[in-house]
């Protein structure tokens, strides 16, 4: 989800709030309750000439890093990811 005119710190706070809300919603299934988790990747837009495909790939890389590090977290993309 694009967040135009949003700096990296604010984007992180917004995504973390969403992630926490998701994890706090109980889903009753028959006789038990499922608690979901979510991982997110954030990509700061540094250059207007970055293609959508590049941005999606970077977000995907950050997302997989979040999953690899234990899931249920938000990672901000950096080239070392």
Instruction: Give the whole-angstrom CA distance, residue 11 versus residue 16.
Output: 8
Instruction: Report the CATH architecture of 8-76.
Output: 2-Layer Sandwich (3.30)
Q: What is the pLDDT at residue 47?
A: 67
Tell which wins on pLDDT, 16 or 80.
Answer: 16
| Residue 45: HSE in the Cβ half-sphere, 13 Å Cα cutoff | 16
pLDDT of 25-77, one tens digit each?
999 999 999 999 999 999 988 767 788 899 899 999 999 999 899 889 999 99
pTM of the model: 0.79
Residue spans of the domains in the chain: they are: 8-76
């Amino acid at each position: 989800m694009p967040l135009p005119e949003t700096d990296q710190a604010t984007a992180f706070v917004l995504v973390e709030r969403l992630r926490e809300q998701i994890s706090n919603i109980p889903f009753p299934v028959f006789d038990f309750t499922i608690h979901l988790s979510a991982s997110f990747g954030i990509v700061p837009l540094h250059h207007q000439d970055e293609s959508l495909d590049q941005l999606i790939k970077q977000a995907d890389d950050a997302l997989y890093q979040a999953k690899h590090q234990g899931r249920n977290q938000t990672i901000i993309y950096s080239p070392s990811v």
